[in-house]
Amino acid sequence: MPMPKVVVHSEVSADGRIDWFRVHEDLYYGLLPTWNEDAALTGIETLFDPRTGVTREERPARPHKVAPDDRRPLLVATDSKGRGYNWQFFRDMPYIRDVVVLVSSKTPESYLRYLEERYVGYIVKGDDRVDLREALLELNRLHGVKTVRTDSGGTLNGALLRAGLVDEVSLLVSPDLVGGLSPKSFFRAPDLESPDGVIRLELFHMEELKHGVVWLRYKVV
């Protein structure tokens, strides 16, 4: 079973941060047809950020059938600790085909029962945390996922990059400088102990968009 293509797509400040500056959502989401993605992959912290407007008040759950010709992407979320809720909120979004939750063998059984009661599909891969490589393969096998785009913060991006699972890095560089000491970058991972872990990129597209934003696309070497 082939591994899906994985694209990390993010907007960053000129110093690589993902906080405080104004995100150009029209540009960020306007570029999504570039990849014709089968799944948008996100971390649970990003999905349930207070800015998404998700409330604890559950929408009525109902069985969900997907038409064979439905080409909208899946929303796929990593949630090994079982913290997600109100999944019907996302299933009701007009641009989402369905929701799949990635969990691990340590995810509480009570949470898996909750997902089943809410008619939400899940994939169990990994021990303490989600095994992203195996989960991506299973997404391909079960749902025909060939292309995945991340819509997440730096932690999930970092896990994918460190695991060698990313094929392309797409960055919108906003003309802002944020500064700071906290690790709020689009690529968060443990510090390297040698240069061997540096990920080399090959630039294959550069374009100036509106508002002084530059779009850079890199192939992961």
Rg of the chain (C-alpha set): 18
Q: In the prediction, which pLDDT does 177 show?
A: 97
Q: In the prediction, which pLDDT does 150 show?
A: 97
Count H helices, E strands: the chain? 6, 9
> pTM above 0.85?
yes
Q: In the prediction, which pLDDT does 157 show?
A: 97
Helical spans, DSSP H, in the chain? 25-30, 44-47, 87-91, 109-117, 132-143, 154-162
Name the domain boundary from 145, 162, 185.
Answer: 145
Consecutive 10-residue runs of the chain (221 residues): their mean pLDDT? 94 96 96 97 91 86 89 97 95 95 98 97 96 98 97 95 97 97 92 94 98 98 94
Q: In the prediction, which pLDDT does 52 show?
A: 79
Full domain range(s) for residue 61: 39-145
**Residues forming beta bridges with residue 5, ordered by sequence position:** 147
Q: In the prediction, which pLDDT does 119 show?
A: 96
Q: Is the same domain home to 110 and 170? A: no
CA separation for the pair 169, 186 (Å, rounded): 11
- How many residues comprise the chain? 221
Burial of 51 (0-12, 13-18, 19+ CB in 10 A): exposed
Q: Is the same domain home to 189 and 221? A: yes
Q: Is the same domain home to 181 and 130? A: no
69 DSSP 8-state letter? T
130 DSSP 8-state letter? -
Q: Is the same domain home to 28 and 77? A: no
Q: Which is it for strands 99-103 and 5-13: parallel, antiparallel or unpaired?
A: unpaired
Q: In the prediction, which pLDDT does 193 show?
A: 92
Could you give the number of structural domains in the chain? Answer: 2
Name the domain boundary from 93, 118, 145.
Answer: 145
Q: Which of 65, 82, 79, 54 is nearest to 119 (CA)?
A: 65
> Could you read off the pLDDT of 162-214 as tens digits, one per residue?
999 999 999 999 999 999 988 899 999 999 999 999 999 999 999 999 999 99
What tokens does 24 get? 């150009």
Q: Is the same domain home to 201 and 137? A: no
CATH number at residue 117: 3.40.430.10
Rounded percentage of the chain residues whose pLDDT exceeds 70: 100
What tokens does 124 get? 């169990």
Q: Is the same domain home to 82 and 172? A: no
